[in-house]
């Protein structure tokens, strides 16, 4: 796909990997809409590009998603690409023995992680694909999973959500391929964003770096490059591209 003039929605594009991706898409000439819950970060991003469509939206809320996607569609007349990138991390063991006895994984956090990282992908994609199909658009959907999808200690909810994202990717690639819509995923390893650095101790972080053959974290641009590669590669479909510095080999 040539990205010039393509109408692209990026969820969670106001910071981290999504923000770097937005820079690259704008450079390629795409018309980009960013749906993000963080209004301050959206304002900062909107200040950088006057052409950007920045929209406050909580992707875990189906009504909020429907209105935001519909407004983008009415404004730009088409949607060619969706990147489901919004996500939050939560680390907690299923059951841990703490100083005050046994503590188990919080159910509220389970629900929040599943709705933000998995249900959101279903909500946004449904709204986007029904518009692609109505206009016979040969579009592309990229879902951001994680290497945690294979199961990661202390990340029950996050790992389950990211594994669900892989399952949706394969299911939709099979369902939508005959309509000319490609669906693929990307599974980053540890990537140097504020969220990742802030969500784990230095010891855990340096252990992950030690276990990565390249002995470092990914730069957000290296993950965004992978997403752009998928968008431009017209025969890449139903697969999840792992960019992890070799951590999982």
Residue 141 and residue 181 in contact, taking contact as beta carbons nearer than 8 Å: yes
Q: Is the dihedral of CA 131, 54, 75, 140 positive or negative?
A: negative
Binding to ligand NAD (CB under 6 A) within 64-83 occurs at none
Pick the closer one to ligand NAD by CB: 56 or 179.
56
Catalytic residue among 49, 53, 123, 158: 158
> Which helix (H) or strand (E) element contains residue 185?
strand 182-188
Tokens of 171: 């299911």
- Closest by Cα among 61, 182, 179, 204 to 124: 61
Pick the closer one to ligand NAD by CB: 25 or 37.
37
Instruction: Say which residues have a Cβ less than 8 Å from residue 35's Cβ, sequence separation at least 6.
Output: 9, 10, 11, 12, 13, 55, 57, 59, 65, 68, 69, 72, 86, 124
Q: Minimal distance in Å, beta carbon 17 to ligand NAD? A: 4
Q: Is position 114 an interface residue for ligand NAD (rule: CB under 6 A)? A: no
DSSP symbols for 21-48: HHHHHHHTT-EEEEEES-HHHHHHHHHH
158 is catalytic: yes
Binding to ligand NAD (CB under 6 A) within 219-248 occurs at none
Q: Is position 156 an interface residue for ligand NAD (rule: CB under 6 A)? A: no
Pick the closer one to ligand NAD by CB: 137 or 212.
212
Pick the closer one to ligand NAD by CB: 41 or 137.
41
Q: Is position 36 an interface residue for ligand NAD (rule: CB under 6 A)? A: yes
Applying CB under 6 A, the residues found at the interface with ligand NAD are: 11-12, 14-18, 36-38, 41, 57-60, 85-88, 116, 144, 146, 188, 190-191, 193-196
């Amino acid at each position: 796909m040539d990205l010039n003039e393509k109408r692209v929605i990026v969820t969670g594009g106001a910071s981290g990997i999504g923000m770097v991706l937005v820079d690259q898409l704008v450079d390629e000439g795409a018309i980009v809409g960013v749906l993000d819950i963080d209004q301050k970060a959206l304002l900062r991003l909107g200040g950088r590009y006057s052409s950007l469509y920045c929209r406050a939206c909580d992707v875990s809320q189906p009504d909020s998603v429907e209105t935001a996607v519909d407004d983008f569609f009415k404004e730009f007349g088409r949607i060619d690409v969706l990147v489901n990138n919004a996500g939050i991390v939560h680390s907690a063991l299923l059951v841990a023995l703490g100083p005050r006895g046994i503590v188990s994984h919080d159910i509220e956090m389970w629900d929040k992680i599943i709705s933000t990282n998995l249900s959101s992908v279903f909500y946004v994609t449904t709204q986007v694909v029904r518009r692609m199909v109505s206009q016979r658009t040969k579009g592309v959907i990229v879902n951001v999973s994680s290497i945690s999808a294979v199961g990661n200690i202390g990340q029950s909810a996050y790992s389950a959500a990211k594994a669900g994202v892989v399952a949706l990717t394969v299911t939709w690639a099979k369902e939508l391929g005959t309509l000319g819509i490609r669906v693929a995923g990307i599974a980053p390893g540890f990537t140097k964003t504020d969220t990742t650095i802030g969500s784990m101790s230095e010891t855990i972080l340096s252990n992950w770096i030690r276990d990565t053959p390249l002995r470092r974290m990914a730069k957000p641009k290296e993950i965004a490059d992978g997403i752009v590669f998928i968008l431009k590669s017209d025969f890449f479909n139903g697969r999840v591209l792992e960019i992890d510095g070799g951590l999982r080999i």
